[in-house]
């Protein structure tokens, strides 16, 4: 297809209400293609999309009225991570982001809320949110780089790692955890990582110095206190949101240590409530005598470019759990909801 032409309609997964993917998502074969981009926006022809647990949770949590107020639309496309080709570039787009160039990235949060997502053949994104795909990188891997990678960067920005700094990574085999292990290792940390037994070899291959099977060693806090109490961690990087890990952390987290959490696997609402208590409740009222930080991802092209550089230098790789065909996106969501992915779950949208 020529870069100057656009089809009138496209295939896209869309929804108009709220609920779980199988309840509300449908494959729309005649969804409108966005108009040509303005300013420094890019119209992307999507190759692959990787799923993010936050996106399906948002599908169930954000009322359609809110999406409508934000976007003015009544039909929405989910997801934010992608790899694809610039199809049209707005007049103010930078010279290196012109039609034909391979890019990857992650939509800014307001676009996610507006439901102008990536699980479609075409979508619009600001040029400042993308970076060039490293030449040797495959499409599926590129689609999985931005979300988990930028979340991992934000987690590590809360830390000061030196050679040998002792770090525990909880949930090391998922989309975020696989990135956190590699980034912490690249900064010289001594990494102890948790995952289930079946993922031990994978997590070791990412550089973890020790791997703890959290199922075989349940309850995990008691095992950590026994094994690491004498040599406590400086940081716990939690990619699951295991509250017990923080509650019992004085047994294995140094007195001036910090737990950084991004996960909400124990429930989104309860995680936010606990995060406030974990952060602010004074010890005299029952607070845990350790520091806690709940952080969120603020994706941008600069961070994405940093990740791409690390891939090119051989310091970082994306673990892809499985690639699903576009028509099978609901199966991909089933896999995501099961919460035992090894790395990123990816949907192939089309050949580009």
Residue 218 Cβ vs ligand NAP, minimum distance, rounded to whole Å: 9
Residue 271 Cβ vs ligand NAP, minimum distance, rounded to whole Å: 8
Task: Give the span between the Cα atoms of 63 and 104, in whole angstroms.
Answer: 29
Nearer to ligand NAP, 42 or 112 (CB): 112
Nearer to ligand NAP, 36 or 210 (CB): 210
The tokens 């966005």 sit on which residue? 34
- 221 touches 248 (CB < 8 A): yes
Residue 290 Cβ vs ligand NAP, minimum distance, rounded to whole Å: 19
Residue nearest to ligand NAP (CB): 174
DSSP-assigned letters across all residues of 213-247: ETTTT-SHHHHHHHHHTTS-EEEEEESS--HHHHH
Residues binding ligand NAP (CB under 6 A): 52-54, 147-148, 151, 170-171, 173-177, 194-196, 199, 214, 239-242, 262-265, 296-297, 336, 339-342
- 97 touches 89 (CB < 8 A): yes
Nearer to ligand NAP, 74 or 196 (CB): 196
Nearer to ligand NAP, 88 or 202 (CB): 202
The tokens 């909801």 sit on which residue? 337
Nearer to ligand NAP, 118 or 151 (CB): 151
Task: Give the span between the Cα atoms of 145 and 216, in whole angstroms.
Answer: 30
Residue 155 Cβ vs ligand NAP, minimum distance, rounded to whole Å: 9
SS3 293: strand
Residue 298 Cβ vs ligand NAP, minimum distance, rounded to whole Å: 8
Residue 319 Cβ vs ligand NAP, minimum distance, rounded to whole Å: 9
C-alpha 150: how far from its chain's center?
Answer: 7
Nearer to ligand NAP, 10 or 199 (CB): 199
Nearest Cα residue to 85 out of 102, 71, 63, 70: 102
Label residues 32-48 b or e (16+ Cβ within 10 Å = b).
ebbeebeeebbbbbbbb
């Amino acid at each position: 297809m020529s870069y100057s032409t656009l089809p009138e309609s496209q295939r896209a997964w869309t929804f108009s209400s709220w609920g779980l993917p199988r309840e509300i998502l449908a494959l729309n074969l005649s969804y409108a293609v966005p108009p040509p981009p303005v300013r420094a926006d890019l119209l992307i022809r999507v190759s692959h999309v990787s799923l993010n647990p936050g996106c399906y949770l948002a599908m169930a949590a954000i009322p359609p009225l809110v999406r409508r107020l934000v976007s003015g639309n009544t039909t929405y496309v989910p997801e934010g991570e992608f790899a694809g080709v610039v199809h049209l570039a707005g007049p103010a787009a930078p010279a290196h982001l012109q039609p034909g160039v391979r890019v990857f990235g992650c939509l800014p949060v307001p676009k996610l809320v507006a439901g102008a997502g990536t699980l479609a053949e075409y979508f619009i994104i600001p040029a400042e949110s993308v970076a060039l795909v490293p030449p040797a990188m495959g499409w599926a891997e590129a689609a999985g780089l931005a979300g988990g990678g930028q979340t991992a960067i934000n987690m590590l920005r809360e830390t000061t790692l030196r050679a040998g700094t002792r770090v525990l990574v909880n949930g090391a085999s998922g989309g975020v955890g696989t990135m956190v292990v590699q980034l912490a290792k690249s900064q010289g940390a001594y990494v102890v990582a948790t995952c289930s037994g079946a993922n031990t070899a994978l997590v070791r291959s990412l550089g973890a110095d020790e791997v703890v099977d959290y199922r075989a060693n349940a309850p995990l806090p008691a095992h950590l206190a026994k094994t690491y109490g004498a040599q406590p961690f400086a940081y716990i990087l939690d990619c699951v949101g295991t509250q017990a890990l923080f509650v019992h952390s004085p047994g294995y987290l140094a007195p001036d240590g910090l737990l950084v959490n991004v996960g909400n696997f124990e429930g989104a609402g309860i995680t936010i409530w606990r995060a406030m208590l974990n952060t602010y409740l004074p010890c005299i009222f029952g607070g845990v005598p350790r520091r806690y930080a709940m952080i969120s991802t603020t994706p941008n092209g600069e961070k994405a470019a940093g990740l791409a550089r690390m891939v090119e230098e051989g310091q970082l790789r994306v673990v892809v759990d499985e690639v699903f065909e576009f028509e099978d996106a609901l199966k991909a969501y089933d896999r995501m909801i099961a919460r035992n992915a090894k790395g990123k779950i990816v949907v192939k949208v089309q050949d580009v």
